[in-house]
């Protein structure tokens, strides 16, 4: 009898132990399943973050223009500060948004993100300045020259050879000048001439050899000209440069960028304006009824804000340096209409 009772108790314990083990195994399997799901979710989150993850970047740069520094990579993010052109920025990280690369920089005591194409290496510009200083130290020699020439355009006569010297007088297009000396500055030959009773220097690219058959140019008795005549002269000077190559940072006959072209044309017409697009925008006033000779501005073409300028010709047409060369386009063309900002005088 005792053996039978003991056998029944032992069997019950065995069944209870087996059930407990099954429950524990089920619980363990359940926890393992939950942990696996959790791990999978965590990995998914990591993959999403890594798509816009910033990586280390070092270097010292300068702002090419007045540039917006943003809270994160991309133009949709808020502006922290507008860094001035030439401001020095130190990069700490980089991030790719689409096809654009953005740098996180420290500038003017603030930290934020800037599009990499708006920056230039700091050391390159420093080297360029040192090179320029050395060139100035070596003064070009003046040699004898003679001949009679005529001006191709309204041309500035300067105190010495080079566009960095003061303007002495303006020689009108077609004016006859006599050369007495010459000097080479870089690749350009400058001639010493007499014009309007004054002596100064003019670039050889602005002169053409006068023929002996032509009569001397008539003296101009009226000093002031109407706005329409002045505009016509400016337009003629601009059209004469059609086809000149486009060169970023260029402001000479070897190549122009947009603001370099407008500055050059206005200078040939006797008016001095700023070198940059933003500078030209700041020193002009908006007009609702544009006239030939006014400036036309565009915004957002390759950077935020005012970014491109041309000279209005009338009937919706404007001349500017863009693409491969100096060309004429219409403000109503799909591309230019999209970025048109204003006419200014």
- Judge if 245 and 336 occupy the same domain: yes
| Least-confidence region, from 42-56, 160-174, 244-258, 261-275 | 42-56
Residue with tokens 């920025």: 89
pTM exceeding the 0.85 threshold for the entire prediction: no
What is the total count of domains within the chain? Answer: 3
CATH number at residue 119: 2.30.30.170
From the list 93, 122, 165, 258, the catalytic residue is 258
Do residues 323 and 335 touch, judged by C-beta distance below 8 A?
no
In a domain, 12, yes or no: no
| pLDDT digits 0-9 by tens, 98-116 | 999 999 999 999 999 999 9
What pLDDT does residue 14 have?
45
- Judge if 203 and 231 occupy the same domain: no
**Among residues of the chain, what percentage have pLDDT more than 70?**
75
Do residues 263 and 274 touch, judged by C-beta distance below 8 A?
yes
- Judge if 240 and 337 occupy the same domain: yes
pLDDT at residue 267 above 60? yes
What pLDDT does residue 70 have?
96
Nearest to 258 by CA among 204, 295, 289: 295
| pLDDT digits 0-9 by tens, 277-311 | 999 999 999 999 999 999 999 999 999 999 999 99
For residue 343, list its beta bridge partners: 287, 296
- Judge if 179 and 243 occupy the same domain: no
In a domain, 289, yes or no: yes
pLDDT at residue 276 above 90? yes
| Least-confidence region, from 34-38, 282-286, 312-316 | 34-38
Task: Please give the residue range of the domain that contains residue 289.
Answer: 227-344
Nearest to 116 by CA among 77, 69, 157: 69
In a domain, 29, yes or no: no
In a domain, 112, yes or no: yes
Gyration radius (Cα) of the chain, Å: 36
Domain boundary among 97, 125, 153: 125
- Judge if 266 and 203 occupy the same domain: no
Structure tokens that stand for 212 in this block: 């002996």
What pLDDT does residue 310 have?
97
Nearest to 55 by CA among 99, 103, 114: 103
In a domain, 50, yes or no: no
- Judge if 283 and 320 occupy the same domain: yes
270: left (phi over 0), alpha (psi -120 to 50) or beta: left
Sign of CA dihedral 218, 224, 230, 234: positive
In a domain, 21, yes or no: no
CATH number at residue 319: 3.90.1720.10
- Judge if 298 and 332 occupy the same domain: yes
At 129, is the pLDDT very low, low, confident or very high (cuts 50, 70, 90)? low
| Least-confidence region, from 28-32, 49-53, 323-327 | 28-32
Does residue 258 carry a catalytic annotation? yes
End-to-end CA distance of the chain: 121
At 37, is the pLDDT very low, low, confident or very high (cuts 50, 70, 90)? very low
In a domain, 147, yes or no: yes
- Judge if 265 and 180 occupy the same domain: no
- Judge if 195 and 235 occupy the same domain: no
- Judge if 337 and 243 occupy the same domain: yes
Tally Cβ neighbours within 10 Å of residue 126: 12
Domain boundary among 209, 236, 261: 209
- Judge if 322 and 281 occupy the same domain: yes
pLDDT at residue 213 above 70? no
In a domain, 249, yes or no: yes
- Judge if 153 and 95 occupy the same domain: no
What pLDDT does residue 141 have?
87
pLDDT at residue 222 above 80? no
Q: Could you give the C-alpha distances from 104 to 48, 69, 77, 111, 190, in angstroms and in order?
A: 20, 9, 13, 7, 47
Output the DSSP codes for 140-201: PPEEEEEEEEEESSSEEEESSSSTTSPEEEEEPTT-EEEEEEEEEETTEEEEEEEETTEEEE
| pLDDT digits 0-9 by tens, 184-205 | 888 889 999 988 888 999 998 8
* Secondary structure class of 209 (helix, strand, coil): strand
97 or 41: whose pLDDT is higher? 97
From the list 93, 122, 320, 341, the catalytic residue is 320
């Amino acid at each position: 009898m005792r053996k039978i009772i003991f056998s029944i108790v032992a069997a019950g314990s065995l069944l209870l132990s087996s059930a407990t083990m099954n429950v524990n195994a089920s619980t363990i399997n359940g926890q393992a399943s939950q942990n696996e799901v959790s791990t999978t979710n965590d990995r998914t989150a990591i993959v999403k973050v890594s798509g816009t993850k910033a990586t280390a970047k070092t270097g010292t740069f300068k702002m090419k223009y007045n540039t917006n520094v943003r809270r994160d990579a991309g133009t949709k993010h808020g502006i922290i500060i507008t860094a001035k052109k030439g401001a020095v920025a130190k990069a700490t990280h980089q991030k790719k948004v689409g096809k654009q690369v953005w740098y996180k920089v420290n500038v003017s005591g603030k930290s934020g993100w800037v599009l990499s194409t708006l920056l230039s290496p700091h050391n390159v510009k420093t080297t360029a300045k040192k090179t320029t200083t050395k060139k100035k130290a070596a003064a070009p020699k003046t040699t004898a020259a003679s001949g009679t020439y005529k001006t191709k355009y309204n041309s500035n006569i300067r105190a010495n050879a080079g566009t960095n010297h003061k303007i002495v007088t303006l020689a009108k297009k077609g004016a006859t000048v006599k050369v007495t000396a010459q000097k080479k500055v870089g690749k350009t030959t400058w001639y010493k001439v007499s014009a309007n009773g004054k002596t100064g220097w003019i670039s050889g690219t602005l002169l053409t050899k006068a023929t002996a058959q032509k009569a001397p140019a008539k003296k101009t008795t009226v000093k002031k000209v109407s706005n329409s005549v002045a505009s016509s002269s400016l337009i003629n000077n601009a059209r004469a440069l059609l086809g000149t190559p486009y060169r970023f940072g260029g402001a000479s006959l070897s190549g122009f960028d947009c603001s370099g072209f407008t500055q050059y044309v206005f200078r040939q017409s006797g008016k001095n304006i700023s070198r940059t697009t933003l500078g030209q925008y700041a020193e002009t006033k908006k007009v609702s009824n544009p006239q030939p000779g006014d400036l036309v501005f565009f915004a957002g073409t390759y950077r935020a804000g005012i970014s491109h300028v041309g000279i209005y010709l009338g009937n919706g047409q404007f001349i500017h340096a863009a693409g491969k060369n100096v060309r004429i386009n219409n403000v109503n063309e799909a591309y230019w209409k999209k970025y048109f900002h204003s006419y200014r005088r």
